[in-house]
Amino acid sequence: MARPSKGHAPEGGDFRILLRFLPWLWPAGRTDLKARVVVSILLVLLGKAIVLAVPFFYKEVVDRMAAGEGGAAAGVDIIIGLVAAYATMRLLGTLVDNVRNGIFERVGQEAARRLASRLFRHIHALSLRFHLERRTGSLGRLVERGTKSVDSMLYFILFNIAPTAVELVGIAIIFTLQFGLGLTAATMTMVVAYIWFTRVVTDWRNAIRRDMNAVDQQAAQRAVDSLLNYETVKYFGAEERESARYDSAVERYSHAAVKNETSLAWLNAGQAVITNVMMAGAMAYTVWGWSAGRFTPGDVVLVNSLLMQLYRPLNMLGWVYRSIKQGLIDMEEMFALLDTPVEIEDAAGARDLHVGAGHVRFEAVRFGYGPDREILKGIDLDIPAGTSLAVVGPSGAGKSTLARLLYRFYEPQGGRITIDGVDIAEVTQASLRAAIGIVPQDAVLFNDTIGYNIGYGREDATQPEVEAAAKGAAIDAFIAALPEGYDTKVGERGLKLSGGEKQRVAIARTLLKDPPILILDEATSALDSATEQDIQATLEDVMRARTTIMIAHRLSTVVHADQIVVLDDGQVAERGTHEELLALGGRYADLWARQARERALEKAAE
């Protein structure tokens, strides 16, 4: 299975990433956004035309002042008008840039929004296998960095790199027409040298910054780890040892920070040498031309102003280059995530599942999480409509895998699963999952209200229906006693509620969904005995008139099941009712006896 890449964008792949990204700026069916792009590009060109025109007003002011002898002879009114035009053009250039930013902002935000929405939807479509192999935190950071890089990349490429290139071309044309090819060639040579030097030093600095960040993270981790283990440090009198370790880490960081700042000084100094050599050479050439009668005093100002304007964005080149490289890396990882194939997809022409009776069958089902890890080895299960099947056995026998296969989180490698005789691989996943409800062992809740978490069972549920579900799960009295009732926040993953309260919310959520097929995946194994008995009674009410699969560790919770299956090593070892399996005297009977002894010891300890 393809996975999002890690590390840096491959050499030569930058252009490919940009080609893939740029179409998001020209969305089909969005004439308004396309118009904004066109207007923004025109404003970029207008802004650069204004910027290139400004020095000519400055030149004209100097030439007129140099030509006159002061007062009216110098045409002071005209000169003042030129100064006013110079200031107006500078202001107009700033206004054009800001208007351009305002017009284009919606384009960038819409592109980022569409990418983020598509990425989020794709992540939810990826298989459970993918999510089990990924760290949620790193996945969240990947999405965040990738979508944020969209806006920054747009700004750098369209409003920094591209305008600078336009300005450079304009200056080349002006220099060629005004001063000859020699000055143009010298300017281009120095710009190329500037860019080359900046790239080389920035790549060097990036390596230094990575080392500095790694050392900084290590120092922070040592400090946090030491403080979290404050009592252990005290127990062993290791204060000096911890201080020495922390000081060592901080010392390494200080050396790395000094190296980083020194590299920045080298970058700034090198850039300054290149720009000032070019500036001095160009102005000296113009002064020489003035002495020979070829140029005017204003030409010196013109050359100086044009080069100053050109060097202003070039001075940011190191930061821009570093930001673009990082943005390309983030975007490559984001697109690689978008390219991750969806493992479980609806078959062509898949129809919706319409559950009638709710008869579930597993027919010779084989499944493994990998080629060398086969979990189910030809399982046959028959759960008639409205009956209950309990699946028990040791850890790793494949009990929870049955629920994941029924939900189509994975596809079996052999055999098939049917509901009312219809292969679940031939129906849409949405309709299949709509027909199944589950109460898991660990009921994870959203960090929202109790009412929201219960109502999550059905999107269009009304408040009376939510309250009826809470009553069915026997949690309505608890909610009524809360000061904020159904608006009570449950905290991260529902941690403000006890285990029993969380389970009842999960039961209420499933009741609200009202599915014809129910899965209880060790729904009470994490609870104490008293709470388990209360919730077990509620679950028995929920199970009535539903086809139910119970996955259990505690056998006391499944004694009333219509049939019990004992899984061992991916196969059905025993099958029957509770009484039949006890009479058989096999694995189930041994497990029952062992748990009975454990329950007796627990009661004696109480």
Residue 115: pLDDT band with limits 50, 70, 90: confident
Which has more confidence, 560 or 129? 560
Between 479 and 234, the more confident residue is: 479
Is residue 446 located within the same domain as residue 431?
no
Q: Is 523 helix (H, G, I), strand (E, B) or coil?
A: coil
At 485, list the tokens. 């009732």
The token duo for 584 is 């058989």
Whether 310 maps to a domain, the answer reads yes
Q: What is the CATH number of the domain that holds 453?
A: 3.40.50.300
Examine residue 346 and state whether it is found in any structural domain, yes or no.
no
Is the pTM higher than 0.75? The answer reads no
pLDDT averaged over the chain?
Answer: 82
* pLDDT value at 563 more than 90: yes
Same domain, 309 and 229: yes
**5 pLDDT more than 50:** no
**Which amino acid is residue 178, in one-letter code?**
Q
Residue 529 falls inside a structural domain: no
- Give 539's pLDDT tier (boundaries 50, 70, 90): confident
pLDDT at 564 over 90: yes
| Domain termination residue (choose one: 339, 362, 379) | 339
Model pLDDT for residues 194-232, shown as the tens digit of each residue: 888 888 888 888 788 778 777 877 777 778 778 878 778
In a domain, 531, yes or no: no
* 285-317 residue pLDDT tens: 889 988 888 888 888 888 888 888 888 888 777
User: Is 527 part of any domain?
Assistant: no
Q: Which of 514, 548, 570 is the last residue of a domain?
A: 514
**What percentage of the chain reaches a pLDDT higher than 90?**
11
**Inside any domain, residue 545:** no
* Residues 121 and 236 grouped into a single domain: yes
In this structure, is residue 299 part of a structural domain?
Answer: yes
Q: Are residues 211 and 141 in the same domain?
A: yes
- Residues 143, 290 within the same domain: yes
* pLDDT at 79 (0 to 100): 80
Model confidence band, residue 138 (pLDDT cutoffs 50, 70, 90): low
- Mark whether 446 and 423 lie in a shared domain: no
- The domain that contains 246 carries what CATH number? 1.20.1560.10
**DSSP symbols for 37-65:** HHHHHHHHHHHHHHHHHHHHHHHHHHHHH
Task: Kindly give the interhelix angle for 14-21 and 317-339, rounded to the nearest 10 degrees.
Answer: 70
Q: Count of residues for the chain?
A: 606
147-175: average pLDDT: 81
Q: Looking at the structure, tell me whether residues 410 and 325 fall in a common domain.
A: no
How much is the pLDDT for 381?
92
CA dist list (Å): 600 to 384, 510, 520, 529, 604? 35, 34, 26, 12, 6
Q: What is the pLDDT of residue 265?
A: 87
Query: Mind spelling out the 3-state secondary structure of 94-113?
Result: HHHHHHHHHHHHHHHHHHHH
Pick the closest to residue 527 from 442, 596, 599 (CA basis): 442
Q: How many CB atoms lie within 10 A of CB 480?
A: 11
Residue 348 has pLDDT above 60, yes or no: yes
pLDDT of residue 406: 92
**Do 192 and 46 sit in the same domain of this protein?**
yes
pLDDT digits (tens, 9 = 90+) for 37-78: 889 889 888 988 898 888 888 888 888 887 765 544 557 778
- 257 shares its domain with 371: no
Which pLDDT band holds residue 250 (cuts at 50, 70, 90)? confident
Of the pLDDT bands very low, low, confident and very high (cuts 50, 70, 90), residue 140 is low
pLDDT of residue 361: 93
Asked if 224 and 244 sit in the same domain, the reply is yes
Q: pLDDT of 388-430, one tens digit each?
A: 999 998 877 788 889 889 988 888 989 999 999 899 999 998 8
pLDDT on residue 350: 87
Q: Do 389 and 246 sit in the same domain of this protein?
A: no
Asked if the structure places residue 110 within a domain, the reply is: yes
**Number of domains present in the structure of the chain:** 3
Per-residue pLDDT, averaged over 148-154, amounts to 74
Please say if the pLDDT value at position 7 is more than 60: no
With a cut of 60, say whether residue 135 has pLDDT above it.
no
Residue 416 to residue 486: CA distance in whole angstroms: 42
pLDDT of residue 237: 81
Select from 458, 489, 514 the last residue of a domain: 514
Q: Are residues 392 and 497 in the same domain?
A: no
Domain range for 142: 14-339
